[in-house]
Amino acid sequence: MQKNKNIIYALIITIFIFVSCKRTPPEPVEYRKSNGVFICNEGNFTYGNASLSFYEPETKTTENEIFYNANNFPPGDVAMSMSIKDSLAFLAVNNSGKILVFNPKTFKYIASISGLTSPRYILFISDTKAYVTDLYDKNISIINPENFTKTGSVFIGNGSEQIVKYQNFAFTTGWSFNNKIYKINTDTDKLIDSLTVTKQPNSIVLDKNNKLWVLSDGGFSGIPGGQEIPALTKINPETFSVEKTFNFPSVETSPARLTLNGTKDTLYFLNNSPSGGNQYEGVYEMSVNSENLPVEAFIPQGEKLFYGLGTDPATSDIYVSDAVDYLQKGIIYRFRSDGTPIDTFKTGIIPSYFCFKP
């Protein structure tokens, strides 16, 4: 009898320890301010440790693991990008092949959109239609943001990366081992043209003058077709023709993360080196009316490892992420548009994408 009591007692102690050690998510905080920013932390590839952070500029407060804390399950493998439409947030989880839909105020999960291969970026075309680019799929997926279903696709013949809309056309970059910009009619969901640019166009924006800017990293040694000098290309979307190509000084540059300030008259991008440790590394600033590439970093990288870049559309504040060593929590540096430091805060592993809450 005593033996049975001891067993029961041991079981009770074990259960107590298990319950007391179990992670209990806190109540989600509702952010009502309009100037907050979500940070997508990619996490390590195949580890499923992606996460979301939220930063409030006015109070300089940060909350990490917001999706997990609100829902008691993680987003998945590689949080690639995020977009907000009306009262819904859409998070592309790249290696998990899905888009998570959640409430951007409470962070509560609503739905998941499946049937995707490797989703990268989302472009809303209408209330019932959005395009989703894909790294490995030769099609751009069409989803319905209202009922959270995949409804079709646009065949382009290659993988796709960033995407923007001008009039009734969408323009997307064909990044991996590619050198094309694709033009899609958003009324018919058909590819109608393509334009050759420098190899591996990774990012694209539309400025205040309705000119497209495309940043190409030139690839790297050993890829099919070889490496090219990186370039920034200015494109007229009306004629779908190149107006000017700005070539970088060396293959020892690897520009990426092209973005615009709030008034869309100033370009920002990151420049790194495949081999590391050269004079080109940092955040660069360039007027859309400039005739030349900037020669010096606006915000030098120094000993940091710059990885992600975003600009607040309301204030033009600059956010740049430091991936540190790709293993520990990343760091965000916030600057005013003149380069004055404002704040520094930690997020999750490999912070890369900034989504500003409208």
Q: What pLDDT was estimated at residue 22?
A: 41
% of the chain surpassing 70 pLDDT? 88
Contact 323, 41 (CB under 8 A): no
Backbone torsions φ then ψ of 135, nearest 5 degrees: -70, -40
Pairing of strands 254-260, 241-247: unpaired
3-state secondary structure of 324: coil
% of the chain surpassing 90 pLDDT? 83
* pLDDT tens track for 5-20: 333 333 333 333 333 3
Which CATH number is 28-356's, of 3.20.190.10, 3.10.20.340, 1.10.569.10, 2.130.10.10? Answer: 2.130.10.10
* pLDDT tens track for 19-34: 334 445 455 555 454 5
Sketch the domain layout of the chain as residue ranges. 28-356
- Beta-carbon contacts of 97 under 8 Å, excluding residues fewer than 6 positions away, are 114, 116, 117, 118, 119
Residue 71 burial (CB count, 10 A): 17
Residue 3: pLDDT band by 50, 70, 90 thresholds? very low
Backbone torsions φ then ψ of 68, nearest 5 degrees: -60, -45
* pLDDT tens track for 105-120: 999 999 999 999 999 9
Question: Mean pLDDT throughout 214-242?
Answer: 92
Hunting for tokens 């166009």 — which residue is that?
201
* pLDDT tens track for 63-105: 999 999 999 999 999 999 999 999 999 999 999 999 999 999 9
Sign of CA dihedral 210, 236, 121, 334: negative
Q: Which of 116, 164, 106 is nearest to 140 (CA)?
A: 116
pLDDT at 152 over 90: yes
3-state secondary structure of 5: helix
**Residue 306 is inside which H or E element, if any?**
strand 306-311
CA 38/CA 84 separation, integer angstroms? 10
Q: Please provide the average confidence, as pLDDT, over all residues in the chain.
A: 90
CA 261/CA 318 separation, integer angstroms? 8
Backbone torsions φ then ψ of 356, nearest 5 degrees: -90, 125
Q: What pLDDT was estimated at residue 243?
A: 98
CA 99/CA 125 separation, integer angstroms? 17
Contact 53, 348 (CB under 8 A): yes
3-state secondary structure of 7: helix
